[in-house]
């Protein structure tokens, strides 16, 4: 069990369940964030413009009764939507699994299981997470078995989580406390800033969610179908300009839905990440001044990203660009802290070897 000065209970010198979940979780989150950046910068905006242009062609074809063109345009639109959906699916699952792994990392000392069993469950969670995310991504290229394999990945994660729960119950009445492991990790200034900042981010995200749920149900969800109906009526009446303008409004509503949902979820995810980073600050082997700089950079990027994402639905691409930049700043800060953790584990391994002579 950890003493107040050495967080030794959480990170040992071997590849135990804690390290497997810690590094696997960080890798899942970083890969998910990189995919998110690539999607936001190179895929989302471009695909959105192309879909809108092709819908313009579709409404013209509706007016002239050209079903061949409609089929051809929808073949492309469906491919673009499928690609976007698949990338977002992989991005969000990778990060969600990463969070789960990091949260379970802290619980490892509490599990009443042999280390071998804990390692097995940890590997199941990480392997299942990678399998699920990867198979979702490649499923269009490999056929239906890709979907089945992604389900197998999710099932592996499920078994790992179930094992964790069993491990908790196995040690339910034993002496020792989670707080004696975690509390010493939360004493530094950088931890405190991250804990409160993270909590506020999650709260902000949830407030955005409630607000947007009301807007979605009462306005955006019914509006998009009304606009589609109007656009079709205009196309059939030969009002091509009017139909294109209405389709543009229809696509604008759909963009708003995607953007404001993203703002809500990203605020919460960055908040969770901030709290997790607050727990591991003692393992970030960097100068205190640089630790504080990186956490402020992370929090700044984390608060600004959902704000800019939200305003992108009003202001447009400039705001979206700043959202991408904010995400990049948060990602760089996260990588810097990951480097600090790698330095810590390296230093521990080295000092452990030296003490064994």
Partner 1 sequence: MLTRAQQWLIVGGLLVVLLGLVYGIVYNLRVEHQTLPRLREQHRGIFLAAAQKESVQVQEALAVAQMANYQYVRAIDVHTHLIKMASVSILLGLIFSLVKWDEKLRIALAVLFVSTAVVFPLGVFAQIFSTSVLLQTVAAGAALLAIGSLGFIIWGLARGLRKEEPNSPTNPG
Site for partner 1 in 161-190 (CB under 8 A): 161-162, 164-165, 168, 171-179, 182-184, 186-190
Instruction: With contacts defined by CB under 8 A, name the span among 33-41, 42-50, 54-62, 318-326 that binds partner 1.
Output: 54-62
Of 2, 9, 51, 96, which one interacts with partner 1 (CB under 8 A)? 96
Structure tokens at 91: 């991005």
Question: What is the distance of C-alpha 322 from the center of its chain?
Answer: 18
- What CA–CA distances, in Å, run from 201 to 115, 296, 348? 35, 13, 33
Integer Cα distance of 131 and 128 in angstroms: 5
User: Which residue, 49 or 71, is less far from partner 1 as judged by CB?
Assistant: 71
Give the helix, strand, coil percentages of the chain, each rounded to 5.
90, 0, 10
Of 227, 267, 276, 280, which one interacts with partner 1 (CB under 8 A)? 276
Of 10, 21, 22, 58, which one interacts with partner 1 (CB under 8 A)? 58
Structure tokens at 277: 């980073």
Hey, how many other C-beta atoms are within 10 angstroms of the C-beta on 244? 20
For position 71 contacting partner 1 by CB under 8 A, the verdict is: yes
Q: What is the rounded (10 degree) CA torsion for 62, 68, 69, 71?
A: 90
Integer Cα distance of 80 and 48 in angstroms: 9
> CB-based burial of residue 85 (10 Å sphere; 0-12 exposed, 13-18 middle, 19+ buried)?
exposed
User: Which residue, 330 or 341, is less far from partner 1 as judged by CB?
Assistant: 341
Q: Using CB under 8 A, which residues numbered 195 to 254 contact partner 1?
A: 195-196, 199-200, 202-203, 206-207, 209-210, 213-214, 217, 221, 225, 228-229, 232, 235-236
Of 100, 259, 295, 312, which one interacts with partner 1 (CB under 8 A)? 100
Contact (CB, 8 A) for 201 and 268: yes
Q: Using CB under 8 A, which residues numbered 292 to 321 contact partner 1?
A: none
Integer Cα distance of 142 and 300 in angstroms: 41
Integer Cα distance of 237 and 62 in angstroms: 10
Give min distance, CB of 325 to partner 1, in A: 25
Nearest to 31 by CA among 84, 82, 98: 98
Of 25, 36, 278, 327, which one interacts with partner 1 (CB under 8 A)? 278
Of 237, 288, 315, 353, which one interacts with partner 1 (CB under 8 A)? 288
Contact (CB, 8 A) for 265 and 305: no
Give min distance, CB of 271 to partner 1, in A: 8
Give min distance, CB of 99 to partner 1, in A: 5
Q: How many residues does the chain have?
A: 357
User: Which residue, 107 or 122, is less far from partner 1 as judged by CB?
Assistant: 107
User: Which residue, 23 or 322, is less far from partner 1 as judged by CB?
Assistant: 23
Structure tokens at 226: 């009304």
Place of tokens 């394999």: 149
Hey, how many other C-beta atoms are within 10 angstroms of the C-beta on 144? 8
Of 70, 230, 297, 304, which one interacts with partner 1 (CB under 8 A)? 70
Q: Using CB under 8 A, which residues numbered 128 to 157 contact partner 1?
A: 144, 147, 150-151, 154-155, 157
Of 85, 143, 238, 316, which one interacts with partner 1 (CB under 8 A)? 85
Contact (CB, 8 A) for 329 and 297: yes
Contact (CB, 8 A) for 137 and 92: no
Instruction: With contacts defined by CB under 8 A, name the span among 36-44, 45-53, 96-104, 309-317 that binds partner 1.
Output: 96-104
User: Which residue, 199 or 321, is less far from partner 1 as judged by CB?
Assistant: 199
Of 28, 31, 47, 110, which one interacts with partner 1 (CB under 8 A)? 110
For position 329 contacting partner 1 by CB under 8 A, the verdict is: no
Give min distance, CB of 77 to partner 1, in A: 8
């Amino acid at each position: 069990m950890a003493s107040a000065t050495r967080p030794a209970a959480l990170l040992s010198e071997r590849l135990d369940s804690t390290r497997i979940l810690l590094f696997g979780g960080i890798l899942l989150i970083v890969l998910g964030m990189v995919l998110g950046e690539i999607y936001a910068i190179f895929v989302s905006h471009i695909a959105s413009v192309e879909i809108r242009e092709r819908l313009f062609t579709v409404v013209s074809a509706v007016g002239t009764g050209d079903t061949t063109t409609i089929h051809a345009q929808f073949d492309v639109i469906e491919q673009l939507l499928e690609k976007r959906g698949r990338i977002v699916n992989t991005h969000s699952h990778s990060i969600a699994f990463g969070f789960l792994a990091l949260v379970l990392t802290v619980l490892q000392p509490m599990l009443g299981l042999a280390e071998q069993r804990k390692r097995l469950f940890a590997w199941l969670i990480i392997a299942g997470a990678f399998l699920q995310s990867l198979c979702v991504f490649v499923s269009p290229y490999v056929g239906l078995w890709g979907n089945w394999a992604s389900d197998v990945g999710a099932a592996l994660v499920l078994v790992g989580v179930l094992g964790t729960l069993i491990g908790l119950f196995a040690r339910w009445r034993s002496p020792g406390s989670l707080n004696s492991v975690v509390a010493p990790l939360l004493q530094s200034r950088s931890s405190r800033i991250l804990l409160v900042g993270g909590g506020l981010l999650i709260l902000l995200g949830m407030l955005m969610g409630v607000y947007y749920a009301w807007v979605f149900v009462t306005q955006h969800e019914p509006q998009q179908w009304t606009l589609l109906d109007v656009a079709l009526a205009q196309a059939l009446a030969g009002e091509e300009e009017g139909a294109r303008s209405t389709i543009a409004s229809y696509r604008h509503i759909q963009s708003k839905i995607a953007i404001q949902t993203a703002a809500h979820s990203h605020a919460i995810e960055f908040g969770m990440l901030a709290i997790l980073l607050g727990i591991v600050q003692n393992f970030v082997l960097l100068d205190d001044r640089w630790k504080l700089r990186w956490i402020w950079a992370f929090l700044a990027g984390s608060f600004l990203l959902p704000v800019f994402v939200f305003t992108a639905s009003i202001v447009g691409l400039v705001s979206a660009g700043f959202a991408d930049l904010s995400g990049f700043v948060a990602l760089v800060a996260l990588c810097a802290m990951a480097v600090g953790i790698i330095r810590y584990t390296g230093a521990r391994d080295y000092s452990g070897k030296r003490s064994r002579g």
